[in-house]
Amino acid sequence: MATYLLTRLLRAFLTIVLVMTFAFVVLRLSGDPAQIMLGPDAPQDAIDAFRARWGLDDPLWKQYLAYLQQLLNGDFGVSMRDGSPALALVMERVPATLALTLPALMLKLCIGIPAGVYAALHRESIADRGVILLSIFGFTIPSFVLGLVLVLIFAVTLDWLPSGGQDTWRHAILPIATLSIGGIGILARFSRSAMIEVLGQPYIRTAMAKGLPWRDVVWKHALPNAAVPIVTLVGFMVGALIAGAVVVESIFSWPGVGRLIVVSVSNRDLAVVQCLLLVIAASMVVANLLVDLAYGLLDPRLRAARPAH
Amino acid sequence: MTTATANPPLVRRLRLKVPALVLLAGVWMALMVGVAIFADQLRPYEITRMDLMARLAPMGTPGHILGTDELGRDVLSRLLQSIRMSLVIAFGATILSAVFGTTLGFLAAQFRGWVEHLVMALADFQAALPFMIMALSVLAFFGTSMVLLVGLMGFYGWERYARIARGLAISASAQGYASAVVQLGATPGRVYLKHILPNVASTLIVSMTLTFPEIILMESGLSFLGLGVQPPESSLGNMVGFGREYLTRAPWIMLAPSVVIVLTTLSISLLGDWLRDTLDPTIR
Amino acid sequence: MTVLLQAEGLVQQYATARSMFGATSHVRAVDGIDLSVREGEILGIVGESGSGKSTLGRMLLGLEAPFAGQVRWQGRPMPAPRTKEWRRLRAEMQLIYQDPLAALDRRLTIARQIAEPLEIHGVPQGDIRPRVDALMAQVGLRPDQADRYPHELSGGQRQRVVIARALATRPRFLVCDEPVSALDVSIQAQVVNLLRDLQEQQSLTMVFISHDLKVVRNICDRVAVMYLGRVVEEAPSDQIFSDPRHPYTQALVSSIPRAGQGLGGRIILSGEPPNPAQRPSGCAFHPRCRFALPACAATEPALARHDGRLAACLRLDEPLPSAA
């Protein structure tokens, strides 16, 4: 387990370094960083000061190291628009995004997994078909179409819910629904097939043959084994959730990180974009680390330390 | 090892029960490809032609079957042009990413060692970062252009091909037929192009049918946000994006492209599933 | 007879468990083998699975570079695998596989597969088809089978395809790695006879690897017996089978069923089958040997000339009861 954790940590660290490198490479490829970071109208002395501070006249590897050091010190540059620190600007938006993504994730887990397990235990039932249908929607309907359709129905036609903004909890309902519906379908379908596969295994048949009550077979034998692949998928879902937040926040004018990234990209506010890139990558890595941890706890093969050779 | 590949003529294989739904999906895709090829001949108006007398005309208006948008441009004409744009981008990007990923995967399998570690580390990185975020930051740094957009989309999903190609190539070398050909004195180029590639092609094609709809969704998502295809060009995504402004007054502007997106991704997914079941011997 | 191929001090080892923080452990599949193959002979290599005989065969062909030692082909060192020179040399030496279905590309017709080495080694396009036809006739395949795919043929026919492909460039040296052990018993004799006929017609030099002593006795001029990566006895074929000296060879030979005799006289090997990861000290065979002394666990016996053969056993010079 210690080895397992260490390798995961090492890989997480490596990914962060790769993202930083990616940001550095893109930054350098796109032209003079001084011009880009300070904007086209920056006065010459500001540019010179910037060049000196970031060591832009040093050899490339030295710049790279200096760049990494800046980032590790929490210095992500300043926003082109109002000169405030990029990191503060991003952090300010994080709670709003979490207010959408966390409930959406909970909904996905709390509805998707039980629905999938139920469908697996009641195959060919109406619920089973419903799960399959919903998952097809999840795969094929883009979130921006779904969001707009929901607005059309619930805000425009029925006038039950607001179509945008962030004033009350009612404003969050449509964005959360948009963010979670597709994912619920996908997770339900995946849980269904994981469960069906586990139920077909010989050890389940053995458990049934020795007369264990069906409830115990499901709860003690099938579910723990089906959980392993499901947890892996949840890891991927975090990435989808962040990408989804970008679109959903734009549709519903929700002032979160996703909206910030779209606005910053349109305005080419590069310090903010770069900061967002790193913050999102870091949260992805942390999420994946948590998933790996859960995975390690669920899978006894990883829990035990491997015998040394 | 029961696949009688290449042997029975394709027609006979097709006559083997094709489910009706898959057939419908095939017809829809054929229609879309037809539209993409003949968009110029099919569309009733120039996509930029404005008919200021008939702005926001609803569906079913004579001369504008799908209505017009806020500038009085014919929605049907714009839709046909957008289908072409989105399909061309998706096809181009799918092929790019398949070629790029497969090549890297084969290189990893051939050289092993640090090349393999590097390719796999890059694949991990790609899988860890949401593609949309990466795409957005690249677009922010370089500005939006058509070439950049296709190039960027061409990175979508490369890591899957790389992993698949590497795994299959390694197992082919261990299995025998590839190492047997090496042993005959064949150059690596010959081994990979004449033996391993044809043998893994069906699996790769199946993954292409999986990435294709995702690329359509990704491109339309970016275009919807106004960061993908730029006006005056038009794609399905940016049609929906502009239609959003008139959601209350003219929902048909966004309705038609949305339906096309959903039906197209659904069709390819269905075709892909069917193709996987019939063609691919590795997934049983 | 001139020596075509010579192996000196061949060692091959593989890394087994590789963890990120632990040290890599190694297994020696082949552990110091000297061997020469003379022009026109068939040399048999026998041993249990795990004795390193396939690894030895691959090293003799230069398919993998030895960890230590070297292989000399016609007096010159074997070029490194996958170099240009190495590829050119493939026309002169070939491998016959245990599992012909795995060795064939299931998406190409057999005619195209037999033609492949000819294309690789630059035979003019016009000469390829007649040569393929001739090869197919030579190995006993019907002309109408040219356009078949591997899975449409029987196991014996597939092995004939592999043999035809191996012979396409008129090689001088052939390594047959368990060429018949995946085939039905009724087919085995046909394929062995085919190999024998081809060897005589084309004065091929062959290394024949097998765990099946009956087959080896039928075809080989000389036999080397391997145990845990080393040769324990090497002698002309009739000598090995009529008068084996190493206790391990004796046990192997005694296990060949003979018509008219019961199962009496068989030497049953006791103990664990050999595992290269846990090589016993001294003579590797001592835990299973009937005649082992305490000294056998301490001293490694060298392969030495003894009564017209080579053998590696501490007790060779003592009068031991001859086997069976």
Strand partners, C209: C45, C177
Question: Which residues are within 8 A (CB) of A304 and not within 5 positions of it... i.e. 6 or more apart?
Answer: A1
CA distance B157 to B170: 20
Choose the closest CB to B128 out of A151, A264, A285: A285
Please give, rounded to a whole number of angstroms, the shortest distance from the CA of C21 to a CA of chain A.
Answer: 8
Residue A251 forms part of a structural domain: yes
pLDDT tens digit sequence for B69-84:
777 777 888 888 888 8
Choose the closest CB to A246 out of B129, B132, B139: B132
Q: Please tell me the total count of domains within chain B.
A: 1
Q: What is the CATH number of the domain that holds A171?
A: 1.10.3720.10
pLDDT tens digit sequence for B214-269:
888 888 888 888 888 887 788 888 888 888 888 777 787 888 888 888 899 888 88
Residue A31 forms part of a structural domain: no
For residue A306, is pLDDT > 50?
Answer: no
Write out chain C residues lying below 8 Å of B184, CB-based: 90, 94, 116-117, 120, 165
Q: What is the pLDDT of residue B1?
A: 38
**Helix (H), strand (E) counts: chain A:** 15, 0
Write out chain C residues lying below 8 Å of A7, CB-based: 20
Can you give C16-28 as a three-state secondary structure string? CCCCCCCCCCEEE
Test C102 with B175 for CB contact under 8 angstroms. yes
Neighbour-count burial of A43, counting CB atoms closer than 10 A to its CB (0-12 exposed, 13-18 middle, 19+ buried)? exposed
Residue with tokens 């697996």: A120
Query: Strand, coil or helix: what is C95?
Result: strand
Choose the closest CB to C107 out of B176, B185, B198: B198
Please give, rounded to a whole number of angstroms, the shortest distance from the CA of A233 to a CA of chain B.
Answer: 12
Q: What is the pLDDT of residue B6?
A: 43
Q: Identify the band that residue A276 occupies on the pLDDT scale cut at 50, 70 and 90.
A: confident
Please give the distance of CA A129 from its chain centroid, rounded to a whole number.
28
Q: What is the pLDDT of residue B7?
A: 43
Residue B241 forms part of a structural domain: yes
Owning domain of residue A198: 94-255
Residue A217 forms part of a structural domain: yes
For residue A45, is pLDDT > 90?
Answer: no
Test C22 with A309 for CB contact under 8 angstroms. yes
Q: CB of A1 within 8 Å of any CB in chain C?
A: no
Two structure tokens written together for B61: 């208006």
Test C104 with B188 for CB contact under 8 angstroms. no
Test B128 with A288 for CB contact under 8 angstroms. yes
Residue A205 forms part of a structural domain: yes
What is the average pLDDT across B43-61? 71
Q: CB of C22 within 8 Å of any CB in chain A?
A: yes
Supply the DSSP string of B39-94, one letter for each residue. Answer: HHHH-SS-TT---GGGTTPPTTBTTBTT-B-TT--BHHHHHHHHHHHHHHHHHHHH
Choose the closest CB to A3 out of C16, C17, C19: C19
- Cβ-based neighbour number of residue A224 at 10 Å: 13
pLDDT, tens digit only, all 324 positions of chain C: 688 999 999 999 887 655 444 556 788 889 889 999 999 999 999 988 888 899 999 999 999 899 999 999 998 999 988 889 999 999 999 999 888 888 898 888 999 999 999 999 988 999 999 999 999 999 999 999 999 999 889 989 999 999 999 999 999 999 999 998 888 888 898 999 999 999 999 889 999 999 888 889 889 999 999 999 999 999 999 999 988 989 999 988 888 877 777 667 778 887 777 788 888 888 888 888 888 888 888 888 888 888 888 999 888 877 655 544
Two structure tokens written together for C216: 């080896």
Two structure tokens written together for B154: 């061409």
pLDDT tens digit sequence for A254-271:
888 888 888 888 877 777
Test C87 with B186 for CB contact under 8 angstroms. yes
Q: What is the CATH number of the domain that holds B270?
A: 1.10.3720.10
Please give, rounded to a whole number of angstroms, the shortest distance from the CA of B99 to a CA of chain C.
Answer: 21
Choose the closest CB to A3 out of C21, C23, C25: C21
Name the percent of chain A lying above pLDDT 70. 89
Write out chain B residues lying below 8 Å of A232, CB-based: none
| A215-219, B58-62, C89-93, C287-291 — most confident range | C89-93
Two structure tokens written together for A74: 């929490």
Residue A144 forms part of a structural domain: yes
Please give the distance of CA B212 from its chain centroid, rounded to a whole number.
3
CA distance A230 to A192: 10
Test B185 with C121 for CB contact under 8 angstroms. yes
Write out chain A residues lying below 8 Å of B213, CB-based: 139-140
Write out chain B residues lying below 8 Å of C117, CB-based: 184-185
Two structure tokens written together for A120: 């697996």
Residue B8 forms part of a structural domain: no
Test A250 with B225 for CB contact under 8 angstroms. yes
Residue B16 forms part of a structural domain: no
Q: What is the pLDDT of residue B284?
A: 35
Query: How many CB pairs (< 8 A) connect B and C?
Result: 58
Q: What is the pLDDT of residue A308?
A: 34
Owning domain of residue B184: 21-43+65-279
Residue B13 forms part of a structural domain: no
Supply the DSSP string of C14-80, one letter for each residue. Answer: EE----SSSPP-EEEEEEEEEEEEETT-EEEEE--TTSSHHHHHHHHTTSS--SEEEEEETTEEPPP
pLDDT tens digit sequence for A48-67:
777 776 666 777 777 788 77
Question: The whole model's pTM is what?
Answer: 0.79
Q: Identify the band that residue A226 occupies on the pLDDT scale cut at 50, 70 and 90.
A: confident
Q: Which of B129, B131, B159 to mutate to test the interface with A (most CBs of A within 10 A)?
A: B129
Choose the closest CB to B227 out of A36, A143, A265: A265
Test A6 with C25 for CB contact under 8 angstroms. no
Choose the closest CB to C91 out of B4, B182, B185: B185
* B112 φψ region: left (φ > 0), alpha (ψ -120 to 50), beta (else): left
Q: CB of C26 within 8 Å of any CB in chain A?
A: no
Q: What is the pLDDT of residue C95?
A: 92
Residue with tokens 């489910």: B19
> Residue A265 to residues A22, A79, A259, B277: CA-CA distances in angstroms?
17, 12, 10, 42
Choose the closest CB to B183 out of C90, C101, C105: C90
- Cβ-based neighbour number of residue A153 at 10 Å: 13
Residue with tokens 């990616």: A22
Angle at A112 between CA A107 and CA A113, to 5 degrees: 115
Question: What is the C-alpha R_g of chain B?
Answer: 22
Comparing C-alpha atoms, which of A181, A179, A163 is closest to residue A171? A163
Residue B59 forms part of a structural domain: no
For residue A36, is pLDDT > 90?
Answer: no
Write out chain B residues lying below 8 Å of A151, CB-based: 247
Two structure tokens written together for A298: 């669920």
Write out chain C residues lying below 8 Å of A309, CB-based: 16-17, 19, 22-23, 25
Comparing C-alpha atoms, which of A182, A193, A185, A219 is closest to residue A123? A193
Query: How many CB pairs (< 8 A) connect A and B?
Result: 128
Q: Please tell me the total count of domains within chain A.
A: 1
pLDDT tens digit sequence for A86-133:
888 888 888 888 888 899 998 988 988 888 888 888 877 888 888 878
Test C22 with A6 for CB contact under 8 angstroms. no
Per-chain mean pLDDT for chain B: 81
Test B185 with C99 for CB contact under 8 angstroms. no
Q: Identify the band that residue A38 occupies on the pLDDT scale cut at 50, 70 and 90.
A: low
Comparing C-alpha atoms, which of C279, C205, C244 is closest to residue C41? C205
Write out chain A residues lying below 8 Å of B262, CB-based: 140-142, 145
